[in-house]
Structure 1
Amino acid sequence: MPDQQKYTNKLHGSRVLIIGATSGLGFGTAEACLEHGISKLILSSSSPTRIEATIAKLKTSYPSASASTEILGYPCNLADESTLEQNIQDLFAQVGTIDHIIFTAGDAVMLTPFLEAGFDMIKQGGMVRFFAPLLVARYGYKNLAPGPASSITLTTGASGDKPIPGWTAVSSYLSGLQGMMRGLALDLKPIRVNLVSPGGVDTEMWDVLGDEGKAELVKELARATFTGKVGKVEEVVEAFLYCMKDGNLTGSMISSNAGRLLV
């Protein structure tokens, strides 16, 4: 007689959409979903080429899981204000009924200091990180199976709680995601809406700084932690899994920051 599986099997058979799935935390969450036996995995990012490469990579790494899990991909450009709303509506016209939406999408870090940035640059800095997840929730909730088993999980960052010099605009969007999440949890109930706030995580996002610049940033972030290191993707992905698994969790933020907020 086989053992019962009350805990390790919670995501088995689920249908999950990950927006921002081709790198970093999104890709790590996609890997974790396959390991947890979901029935359908839908990947989305702005690049059709990267989606195809990501699907091939997942199928190579998880040959048996991908044989039992349908893996699909749909491009969606979230960076263009003029087409943002229509692109998101078009995405959800394709994905069908799902159980969970994970939003980890981001774009190049806004490096221009706040006092040197014009309004257009400030607005563009929130297009993917703030306005896109708001519209994803606005239109995507209709695709979710009704009830508290379904969820939307958004992503913010630690500078929303602990600002970094020059990052006023970015910090505003990141802290604003906390209010967005709470409002959505109320407006979309009983669908659950939560937020993951990673501290420093070693992902491709920082590649824009170059090898030397990225290495220096990782050192600096590590010094501002209790663990003496930045997070790994496979560590922080556990927060996204928990948001999907815990049917009693809504209107909450999980912060995986290695103690950075206490330093």
Structure 2
Amino acid sequence: MLDQLKYTNKLKEARVLIIGGTSGLGFGAAQALLEQNISQLILSSSSTTRIEAAIAKLHSLYPSTSAAISGYACNLADESNLPANVENLFSQIGTLDHIIFTAGDAPLLTPFLETPFDTIKAAGMVRFFAPLLIAQHAQKHLTPGPASSITLTSGVSGEKPIPGWTVTSSYLAGLQGMMRGLALDLKPTRVNLVSPGGVDTEMWDVLDGEARQGVVAELARHTTTGRVGRVKDIAEAYLYCLRDWNLSGSVISSNGGRLLV
């Protein structure tokens, strides 16, 4: 007699699109989902080269997976073509059960008082306007009902701002309002948001070794856990958002106690 598997098999045969799934949190979520026996994983990124590399890496990490893994390029930073790019992405995708949005670009580091309007607007193209447009198209591709979901990604500085980060913090805070509005407008599809604190990802690889270590150490200093977040830990938050069919309009915050320090 076999054990029941009503928990570990909750995502079995699911079809999932991860926008921003070729690195960082998105790639971590992709690995976690393959371990949940989903049937189809679709990655999207601005670069075809990165998509191909990520797919190859996933196949090397999970050689026995039965999931179909594919990917489509979509440039979310191009303001004039953003609506057409998003529409084209969904035109290549069939029915989905879940969408995870982890796409982002480098945080705006220009001091707020020195930031021109064009730069302010561009800073929100990927992290704010893109997920809003994606949500407009998503409903037509998601299986109807509360088993389906959209999960957005924000950041802890939307709740606890960093000096000089007013522009970035504004968009991150706005994502919480967006998520709650979408949870109403797209019901019964569930919409939630993952809000991580500092995470050790490839984003910091642009720095040299010593500078990178300094950034990671500084991020760890502003926690109660004494260490910076790990991708494999935050990936659990995305799994939860997909697996709990009673969760909608909620923020899952994985920040190592950043809000307390």
TM-score, normalized by the shorter chain, greater than 0.5: yes
Deviates more, 1:110-119 or 1:201-210: 201-210
Once the 2 structures are TM-superposed, how far is the Cα of residue 142 of structure 1 from its aligned partner? 1.1
Aligned to 1:130: 128
Q: How does 1:104-183 map to 2 (within 5 A)?
A: 104-183=102-181
Structure 2 counterpart of 1:206: 204
Matched letter for residue 201 of structure 2 = T
Quickly say closer, same or farther: Cα 1:209–1:114, change in 2 above 3 A: farther
Match of 1:88 in 2: 86
How far 1:204 sits from its partner (Å)? 1.1
- Unaligned 5+ residue runs, structure 2? none
Partner in structure 2 of residue 44 of structure 1: 44
| 8 Å CA contact retained: 1:110, 1:170 | yes
1:174-225 CA-partner distances (Å, limit 9, x unpaired)? 0000000000000000000000000011001122333332211111111110
What CA deviation, in whole Å up to 9, does each residue of 1:150-182 have, x standing for no partner? 000000000000000110000000000000000
User: Residue in 2 aligned with 1:62?
Assistant: 62
Count of matched residue positions in the alignment of Structure 1 and Structure 2:
261
> For the residues of structure 2 that align with 1:208 and 1:194, how far apart are their CA atoms?
30
Amino acid in structure 1 at the alignment position of 2:178 = M
Partner in structure 2 of residue 258 of structure 1: 256
- What does the per-residue CA deviation read over 1:6-39, in whole Å, with 9 as the maximum and x for residues that have no partner? 1111100000000001100000011111110000
Task: Please name the residue that 2:17 is paired with.
Answer: 17
Decide whether aligned partners of structure 1 residues 42 and 174 sit closer, same or farther in structure 2, where only a CA change above 3 A counts.
Answer: same
Corresponding residue for residue 187 of structure 1: 185
Report the TM-score when normalising by structure 1: 0.98
Secondary structure in 1 aligned to 2:173?
Answer: helix
Provide Cα deviations, 1:116-171, integer angstroms capped at 9, x if missing partner: 11011111111100000111111122100000000000000000000001100000
Q: Is the 8 A contact 1:222 1:229 kept in 2?
A: yes
1:8 corresponds to: 8
Could you tell me the TM-score, scaled by structure 2's length?
Answer: 0.99
User: Matched residues in 2 for 1:85 and 1:11: separation?
Assistant: 30
Map of 2:95 onto structure 1: 97
Runs of 4+ in 1 over 6 A off after TM superposition: none
CA RMSD of aligned residues (A): 0.8
Q: Distance in 1 between matches of 2:7 and 2:194?
A: 21
Q: CA deviation at 1:113?
A: 1.3
Partner SS for 2:208: helix
Of residues 194-203 and 103-112 in structure 1, the stretch that sits farther from structure 2 once superposed is 103-112
SS in 2 for 1:108: coil
Aligned to 2:140, the other structure's residue is in SS state: helix
Instruction: Report the identity percentage.
Output: 71
Instruction: Tell me how far 1:112 sits from its aligned partner.
Output: 1.0
* Structure 1 Cα separation of the partners of residues 208 and 83 of structure 2: 33
Deviation of residue 110 (structure 1)?
1.2
How far did residue 40 of structure 1 move? 0.3
Q: Aligned equivalents of 2:210 and 2:117: distance in 1?
A: 31
